[in-house]
Structure 1
């Protein structure tokens, strides 16, 4: 991967719908050359896909929280996802070292919805404890 590839990837991270022609104008290549590079980056697994960034606040999921989970015994990633199965607002799950076994990042409508999520998680037979931290303010690393 050279500097031009890195610039193309950076531009696509900003706007995954950007046209090959637009990319070419910025990096100084023809549309066909940019298309070949993007296809190579995709086939090499550098670019793994394209997603729509959704404003979950507009969907009514305005409250974010981290839910720490403690499991009976050793928890693998499959166990963590199994516990989170049916919890629609789980944004991400992390297996962690230390006193806890996992951290879930959730987005919910309100405190009542968060309580429903916690009740669902606490009802799982392998989950022995939870701790919740409500996120007051957040900014993604990629955000300007």
Structure 2
């Protein structure tokens, strides 16, 4: 992968434009960075070849496609159990992401559940694993992600303090 110092301002501008909209055309990017098509195309190909751009994806609104309730769960594990616990939590369908983090806790899980009852069931499922010493769960009320072209906000019924999503 290319070192960050090898990326110039134009590379960074191209990356930001693609981050905003990965379907943006080379013609559009070229116009925005004041270069002709060929150099922009070569730069994008180099960024892909060197692994700076690892792929392209669709950004979905989870509340419209999957479960509406989002939460982060901090997980502390017993000595020597980190890899086994990672394997276990990856098998729980509601776990969307697993991050190994420095310090205490050991893992940070991104969970998506249908409602508060479903979230409770998932957390209890995770807590039952004897290799997990403790958990702490934080429910997401609103999210903003830099890499998305449009801000995502949790459904209003979650933000307004409802105990569970409306049916």
The alignment yields a C-alpha RMSD, in angstroms, of: 2.0
Q: After superposition, where does 1:1-144 map in structure 2 within 5 Å?
A: 1-76=7-82, 78-142=83-147
Q: Using a 3 Å threshold, how does the CA distance of structure 1 residues 97 and 2 change in structure 2: closer, same or farther?
A: closer
Task: Determine helix, strand or coil for the equivalent of 2:99.
Answer: strand
- Render the CA deviation track for 1:53-85: whole Å, top value 9, x for unaligned: 011010242211111212121343x33421212
* 1:32–1:97 distance in 2 versus 1, CA, 3 Å: closer
Structure 1 regions of 5+ residues with no counterpart? none
Deviation per residue, 1:8-37 (Å, 9 max, x gap): 111000001111111111112222221111
TM-score, scaled relative to structure 2:
0.75
Deviation at 1:140, TM superposition (A): 2.1
SS in 2 for 1:53: coil
Distance verdict in 2 for CA 1:100–1:35, change over 3 Å: same
Q: For this pair of structures, how many residues does the alignment match? A: 143
Deviation by residue 1:85-143 (Cα, 9 ceiling, x = unmatched): 22223232222344432221212211122122113212323123222121222222446
Separation in structure 2 between the aligned mates of residue 70 and residue 116 of structure 1, nearest angstrom: 19
Counterpart secondary structure, 2:27: helix
Instruction: Report the Cα distance in structure 1 between the residues aligned to 2:21 and 2:131, rounded to whole angstroms.
Output: 41
The unaligned stretches of length 5 or more in structure 2 are: 1-6, 152-167
Asked whether the equivalents of residues 83 and 127 of structure 1 are also in contact (C-alpha less than 8 Å), the reply is no
TM-score relative to the length of structure 1: 0.85
- CA shift in 2, pair 1:138/1:25, >3 Å: same
